[in-house]
Amino acid sequence: MRVVACPDKFRGTASAAEVAAAIAAGVRHHAGTRAEVACLPAADGGEGTLDALGGPNRTSLVTGPLRERVEAPWRLVGDDAIVEMARASGLLLAGGAGGNDPLAATSAGTGELIAEAVASGARRVIVGVGGSATTDGGLGALDAMSPLARLAGVSVVVACDVRTRFCDAARIFGPQKGASPPQIELLTRRLERLVDVYRERYGADVAELQGAGAAGGLAGGLAAGLQAELAPGFKVVATEIGLLDAIEGADLVITGEGQLDAGSFDGKVVGGVLEIAAESGVPVGVVVGTREPGADPAHWRPPAGKPPPTGLVVLTERYGAERSLGDTLNAVREAAAELAEQLS
């Protein structure tokens, strides 16, 4: 019995790696020695991408989102680097929405990390852009990397977890970064001016570029200044960890995340796993902490192939909120054992 455990993080309670290990323990509890479990924690380009791609092995002191100095972990293996914006310019570093200054927050630290990676020998840099405090259109990062000529020949891949347009970034994400309605209007005008600046400075038009609004426009800034490729974050991670081949040869896949909602099936880990499984004909078990009403993988329809057999365990519905939050990993283990029995 070959099983792939490929969950996203359960935000605030467990990392993707911890959840994957709990799933593996649950499967082995059910199937014993006949279970071969591959743990491939996943991410969608947001927070957790660095951990999903092997975890940090370097740390740099960089400019934080509110210009304080922060220690930002990142990864370098050979000539490949992984940088996670949340570690340098993240909202949590700014004290959350309540502690953030949406107008002043800068992406400079992320640019410093990219420059440090290149100076350390990286010729390809993957940038995960979720969890940002900023809406500066990536100008802070580009200025921090100046002169950009020193990055010539370096391939930059931005792992985007949204498809937002550049000038929509403030309206859509500003409130969760602490921006008031007047500040959102001001930030939007800044982004609109940056479209012209980037067009004049780099000959690039980011206004209609899908995903350019990710991380408050950092994705668009990197696309303009570094000719970065903007790619769906889950697909970037799935390719790097060999998820497609692993699922194709599996008898069962178990995935999950903290909260299941409509967005879970559109570019996120759960939806991406379901899509791969549909193409391979592999059953999928889903473990989640909570869910929005009506969110259920059984209602999902794949763009190609037939819907795979699915099972769902919602921890708060099965075990109650207290245990789901206080004993998350053991609850995941029990849920995984149940799904393995149901779908194998």
pLDDT tens-digit profile of 14-59? 999 999 999 999 999 888 888 899 999 999 998 899 999 999 999 9
pTM of the model: 0.93
Going from the C-alpha of 41 to that of each of 93, 170, 257, the distances in angstroms are 24, 31, 11
pLDDT, position 304: 78
Position 244 pLDDT exceeds 80? yes
Position 74 pLDDT exceeds 90? yes
pLDDT, position 58: 98
Q: What pLDDT digit, counting tens, does each position of 80-91 carry? A: 999 999 999 999
Q: What pLDDT digit, counting tens, does each position of 209-229 carry? A: 999 999 999 999 999 999 999
Q: Kindly state the average pLDDT of the residues 305-309.
A: 85
Q: What pLDDT digit, counting tens, does each position of 129-161 carry? A: 989 999 999 999 999 999 999 999 999 999 998
pLDDT, position 15: 94
* Cα 204 from Cα 150, distance rounded (Å): 19
pLDDT, position 232: 95
Q: Kindly state the average pLDDT of the residues 244-252.
A: 95
- pLDDT band, very low/low/confident/very high, at 117 (cuts 50, 70, 90): very high
- pLDDT band, very low/low/confident/very high, at 6 (cuts 50, 70, 90): very high
* Cα 220 from Cα 223, distance rounded (Å): 5
pLDDT, position 194: 98
* Cα 117 from Cα 88, distance rounded (Å): 13
Position 305 pLDDT exceeds 80? no
Position 123 pLDDT exceeds 80? yes
pLDDT, position 292: 94
Name the amino acid, one letter, at 303: P
Q: Kindly state the average pLDDT of the residues 327-333.
A: 97
pLDDT, position 9: 95
pLDDT, position 35: 86
pLDDT, position 155: 98
pLDDT, position 202: 96
> What are the structure tokens assigned to 90, written together?
């993240």
Contacts of 142-148 spanning 24+ positions with Cβ under 8 A: 142/111, 142/221, 142/222, 142/224, 142/225, 142/226, 143/108, 143/111, 144/63, 144/107, 144/108, 144/109, 144/110, 144/111, 144/112, 144/115, 145/111, 145/112, 145/114, 145/115, 145/225, 145/226, 148/225, 148/226
Q: Kindly state the average pLDDT of the residues 88-102.
A: 97
Q: Kindly state the average pLDDT of the residues 122-128.
A: 98
